Amino acid sequence: MTDEECQEHMAELLDHIMKKCLWQFHSRAWDRERQNENILDMTTKLLCNQEVDLSTPEQRCYYADADELARAYHNEFSWIADLGNEEIQQVMKALHEELDRQTITESLNAELTETLY
């Protein structure tokens, strides 16, 4: 897969999250980081037909969002079925980086770093 194809796929997946996933709106940067990492990691594993760790209540909570996201991606983006695991991982890594950039690093939401909140 070319970098251009990866970016196009990533943009479609990101658009879905931005429009349909409320979990991206946690009020703390550390919460967003942890949630992005866990949900997207589990989503990647589900898309690659790999096992996910459901040993803790926290992991099961992330799984609920990841499972829904993986199902939506399969239903809305037929090109996912044509990708191998390495390509899925490549796209999901780019997605994670861009989601973190937009919702954490370059976010203008001052609440993300407010220590008294």
Question: Average pLDDT of 105-109?
Answer: 68
Q: Cα–Cα distance between 28 and 114 in angstroms, integer? A: 8
Question: Average pLDDT of 57-72?
Answer: 97
32 vs 12, which has greater pLDDT? Answer: 12
pLDDT of residue 69: 98
Q: What is the pTM of this model?
A: 0.91
Q: Cα–Cα distance between 61 and 57 in angstroms, integer? A: 6
| 13 close to 95: Cβ distance less than 8 angstroms | yes
Instruction: Measure Cα distances from 8 to 19, 31, 32, 38, 79 in Å.
Output: 17, 27, 24, 23, 11
